[in-house]
Amino acid sequence: MALFRAAYLADDIYAVTGEALERRGIKLLLADLDNTLVPYGVPLPDDRLRAWRDDLAAHGVTLFILSNNRKEHRPRVFSEALQVPYIGHAGKPKTPSFYKAMEQMGVTKEQTAIIGDQVFTDVLGGNLAGVAAILVKPIRLAGNPGRYLRYAVEVPFRLLSRRGEAL
């Protein structure tokens, strides 16, 4: 049960500040792309997302996109536009991509967190890899009936996760 429980809950990524992450020794923030950073299908980052990335960087935190998107083009183009490192087709909740990102950035598990909108990929993967998991509300469910079902199944685990200051 604990593997499906996030260490922290937040309404969205903007509730997670560089200052709060720095206070907890986080240097690498792995982030899911679709429905966490932007809605599905949004091709490029906006100014608000760029400002959030800059706030993280000002506090010594590197944003790193860890996306399960099977199309290499999507995370690559988005990450290049945001000027952050990425791993596409990450295979979350499997842990190799988590370890690869940490190794690439030269940080430990204790210095790493993941932020995402899904319990069964982002939270489970983070817990299996030994990094702090931050669960956010999905940006938008519209457009795919399967998403409603998946998020409905996640409700009990969301309720068990800790609400409060996200890291």
Q: Which domain holds residue 102?
A: 2-160
Checking 116-120 for CB contacts under 8 A at 24+ apart, the result is: 116/31, 116/32, 116/36, 116/92, 117/32, 117/35, 117/36, 118/32, 118/35, 118/150, 118/154, 119/4, 119/6, 119/154, 119/157, 119/158, 120/4, 120/93, 120/150, 120/154
pLDDT digits (tens, 9 = 90+) for 25-63: 999 999 999 999 999 889 999 999 999 999 999 999 999
At 140, is the pLDDT very low, low, confident or very high (cuts 50, 70, 90)?
confident
pLDDT of 143 reads: 64
Rounded CA separation 44/9 (Å)? 26
Give the chain's domain count: 1
Rounded CA separation 9/91 (Å)? 23
Residue 165 lies in a domain: no
Full-model pTM: 0.90
With CA atoms as reference, report the closest residue to 140 among 164, 117, 156, 158. 117
More confident residue, 33 or 141: 33
- pLDDT of 165 over the 70 cut: no
Residue 166 lies in a domain: no
SS3 60: coil
**HEC assignment per residue over 102-159:** HHHHCCCHHHEEEEECCHHHHHHHHHHHCCEEEEECCCCCCCCHHHHHHHHHHHHHHH
Contacts for 41 with CB less than 8 Å, ≥ 6 apart: 34
Residue 97 lies in a domain: yes
Query: For the chain, what is the mean pLDDT?
Result: 90
| H or E element, residue 54 | helix 47-58
More confident residue, 159 or 125: 125
At 146, is the pLDDT very low, low, confident or very high (cuts 50, 70, 90)?
low
Residue 167 lies in a domain: no
- pLDDT of 75 over the 80 cut: yes
Residue 44 lies in a domain: yes
pLDDT of 164 reads: 47
pLDDT of 133 reads: 96
Residue 83 lies in a domain: yes
Residue 29 lies in a domain: yes
Residue 74 lies in a domain: yes
- pLDDT of 13 over the 90 cut: yes
At 94, is the pLDDT very low, low, confident or very high (cuts 50, 70, 90)?
very high
CATH code of the domain containing 115: 3.40.50.1000
- pLDDT of 154 over the 90 cut: no
